[in-house]
Structure 1
Amino acid sequence: MQQNQSNQEDDQPNNIMDNLEFQSVLDIQNLNDDQFQEEIPEQNNQVSDMYRQERHLNLIAHQIHKQNEQRPQPVLEGEFYKVSPHFLETNSTYYCTLQPKRFTYYNIKNKDKPLGILDFDYQKYIFSFVKSKDDQYILSFILQPEGCEKKFEFVVPTRTRDQSKKWVQLIQQYIQQSCGCQNNIASMSKYHRFWRHERILDPQILDQAQTGDLLIFRTKGTLQNLQRSITRSDYDHMVMFLKNSWEDPMLFESSNQYGVISFSYKRFVKAKSYRNYEKILYKPLLNVSENDRILMHAYAEAQIGKGYSLSMMKFFKKSTRKNFFCSELIAYIYQLMGFIPEAEKCCSFLPGQYQIITLIGNFTDEDKRLDLLKNAQLGPDYIVDFYYLQ
């Protein structure tokens, strides 16, 4: 595969922005097409063991998915003080709910969007609590994900003390009954702030992904941390799915290594390139017809082979549509579909929460959700779990 040459459409002096690079999710493993081969175990018994383990864990995942298709109403709900992990911050009051095998907390003023989702089926939790001296009620309790230093500590306010023992009893019961506890599942603890999102397994993406859906990446590394600081974004790269009826999902991206390309999602997973990211989010595109997805696929394929470019001058010049950075490319496809107004600059869209020039919209921030046209809508974020088999 040929490396794409840097774009020279903008003759401006180098600056910090010019040195930002959205790394390809393919290039990290530096795999060429003829090098990409699935590893075959030498011994047949190894194949059998691996197959049995994968089948068993896939069965667990299927059971969890079925259980959550129709999640019941909360068994308990109430208000607790959440202990802040930061020394200078005061404890805040949160609205909390307890459903079978799931503890969720919300901002007291916004009960529609959860701030923390602790699902006992997805992750094993260590539970502890402190009783009052007279043993009449619970003073506080802690939920800690196994394999993670993060602790969720809640103090019981006076108004909730009457039910405090019932809360503790049910939390203990749900943890013991959960798949996370019974199967020692600790994969979610590997991800940055995993409790902010619902979870999806990577095999489920093979079944669910459609053209226009997004993967949004938070890359490990000091340079990427700097990049996110400069762009004021929680994420530093994004790709779009391309899917048709005769092949597996493809990932469509623009990167500084290759420019605009597409490649197999299975290839990305089998190369274990996900290990280079703190977190990967799956974000579905909703309310789009099949005909529109076919048209979007054609628009995307027409861009393959174009170059990569990211510089400050892009925000002040009229785009030639010949070179793109990652989220600019996807915004352009959305704009061709009529999901984004023609007057908007596609280069103003970044993978995360803040746009450099204007707050036009966002791909990830729920509070500043990107409002699409033609009734299209970006769905909620799902954290992709690649480690559930390990």
Structure 2
Amino acid sequence: MDSDPQIGTSKEENFVKTDSDTQSDLNDLRSISFSSSSSGEEDLIVKAGWLRKKSTHLIKRWQWRYFVLKDHVLFYYNNDHDQQPRATINFNQITVDINVDNPETPQELVLKPLGSKRVFRLKGNTAGEIKEWVDALKKHIKTSEGFKQQKYMVTIKKEFWRYPRISHDRFRDIVQTGDVLLFRSKSIPAKMQRAVTGSKYDHVAFLLKLQDEQVALLESTSQTGVQVLLWEDFMRYQWHLLYTRLVYRKLNIERTDQFLDSTAEFLTEVSGKKYRLAKAIFKKSKGLEPGSEEGYFCSELVACAYKKLNLLGDKIHPSRIWPGNFSTEKPLELTGCSLGPEILIDFELGFEE
């Protein structure tokens, strides 16, 4: 939450342009690669389609879900056009056994993650269809890191499948200027804010990639006002422990010279300005150019940055935007770009996932 301790500074002059071609494309989870294939490894089939999944509710029933298998990761979605998956099973991060009721003419397959009581039971329309899925899944599983060594640090966590996750090292590697970081704080005021706004999150920051490849956060907090905070300082002081969840979202856009110059200009305009919560609740500023406001709430600051970059239209004023509007729950209508899926930063994962 904005009231949590966020003390630390960085130098604005470190801000420079980044080469978008060197970064991972997270436009859609269905094309994301969490890890690189080892040298000489056979190409893995990419497979997608509808399967029935047995629910785990009190009343068990089979539900249609859209599944995607790519780069050692199995996702499933409510619909084939959804961006945020209902579940993510990353075979590089966990060890999974696959079983079938009949190897020759399978009707049902079962995925059993090591260290968890949760199992995933899947059915296809025909035995041939489910056999194709079994063959594809076995190839992804047997070439994964989870198959090479027993991994269960992820599966012992509650509802481990709910979010795709990356290590903080991987996070630092793929960040680009303009991406966002969402925070779910532990404090009582943060819980109250989430209840009032009806969101999973209570704080948001605008991410920057600096000249020396360092990551920084542009944010507004009640302790410091608007500041640029280095990610290495955030980690050094273990501020990540203040939160139950840190979630990364990629801004899918080309980082042109104009985009980066406008970002640098906005940094100059807002650095050192005040934190203002009341404005976000009671007032709606009119006729102000982004960056000219006297103070900012955290989500208002990020929204003004997007407005400065011509990514946010005039349908909603930045002062009316909450952290939850940067989640997949209440998505903003952006112009010429989109925010990628929510990816959980897991600080217990190693770099090789």
Tell me the TM-score normalized by structure 1: 0.67
User: Taking structure 1 as reference, are residues 209 and 162 closer, same or farther at Cα in structure 2, changes over 3 Å only?
Assistant: closer
Letter in 2 for 1:387: E
Aligned-pair distance for 1:238?
A: 1.0
Deviations 1:266-297 (A, max 9, x none): 11123333233333222233223133213312
CA distance in structure 2 between the partners assigned to 1:331 and 1:283 by the alignment: 14
Segments of structure 1 that go 5 or more residues without pairing to the other structure are: 1-20, 34-62, 353-361
Q: 2:36 is matched with which residue: 61, 66, 85? A: 66
CA distance in structure 1 between the partners assigned to 2:296 and 2:60 by the alignment: 41
1:364 alignment partner in structure 2:
327
Q: Percent identity?
A: 25
Q: 1:262 is matched with which residue: 205, 228, 239? A: 228
2:51 alignment partner in structure 1:
80
User: Taking structure 1 as reference, are residues 322 and 87 closer, same or farther at Cα in structure 2, changes over 3 Å only?
Assistant: farther
1:1-390 equivalent positions in 2, closer than 5 A: 22-24=2-4, 26=6, 65-67=35-37, 72-75=44-47, 79-87=50-58, 90-99=61-70, 101-108=72-79, 110=81, 114-121=85-92, 123-127=93-97, 129=99, 131=101, 137-139=106-108, 141-144=110-113, 146-147=114-115, 151-156=118-123, 159-164=125-130, 167-168=133-134, 171-172=137-138, 174-189=140-155, 195-220=161-186, 223-246=189-212, 248-285=214-251, 286-311=253-278, 314-318=281-285, 321-342=293-314, 344-352=316-324, 362-365=325-328, 369-373=331-335, 375-389=336-350
Deviations 1:204-233 (A, max 9, x none): 444443332211122345654443232111
Q: Check the 8 A contact 1:191/1:278 in 2, yes or no.
A: no
Q: Check the 8 A contact 2:280/2:320 in 1, yes or no.
A: no
Q: Check the 8 A contact 1:185/1:388 in 2, yes or no.
A: no
Deviations 1:21-76 (A, max 9, x none): 5244635xxx899xxxxxxxxxxxxxxxxxxxxxxxxxxxxx963229x985435x
Q: Check the 8 A contact 1:192/1:278 in 2, yes or no.
A: no
Letter in 1 for 2:54: V
The alignment partner of 2:217 has SS state of strand
The alignment partner of 2:300 has SS state of helix
Deviations 1:117-137 (A, max 9, x none): 31201x2134364637x9963
Q: Check the 8 A contact 1:309/1:323 in 2, yes or no.
A: yes
Q: Check the 8 A contact 1:236/1:351 in 2, yes or no.
A: yes
Segments of structure 2 that go 5 or more residues without pairing to the other structure are: 11-32
CA distance in structure 1 between the partners assigned to 2:9 and 2:280 by the alignment: 33
User: Taking structure 1 as reference, are residues 304 and 128 closer, same or farther at Cα in structure 2, changes over 3 Å only?
Assistant: same
Deviations 1:115-168 (A, max 9, x none): 3231201x2134364637x99635452433x4556x2422425x2334545644
User: Taking structure 1 as reference, are residues 199 and 138 closer, same or farther at Cα in structure 2, changes over 3 Å only?
Assistant: same
Q: Which has the higher contact order (CA 8 A, sep 6+)?
A: 2
CA distance in structure 1 between the partners assigned to 2:152 and 2:235 by the alignment: 19
CA distance in structure 2 between the partners assigned to 1:287 and 1:32 by the alignment: 28
Q: Check the 8 A contact 1:72/1:99 in 2, yes or no.
A: yes
User: Taking structure 1 as reference, are residues 346 and 99 closer, same or farther at Cα in structure 2, changes over 3 Å only?
Assistant: closer
Letter in 2 for 1:22: D
Letter in 1 for 2:2: F
The alignment partner of 1:252 has SS state of strand
User: Taking structure 1 as reference, are residues 349 and 130 closer, same or farther at Cα in structure 2, changes over 3 Å only?
Assistant: same
Alignment: residue pair count? 320
CA distance in structure 1 between the partners assigned to 2:189 and 2:157 by the alignment: 19
CA distance in structure 1 between the partners assigned to 2:57 and 2:192 by the alignment: 22
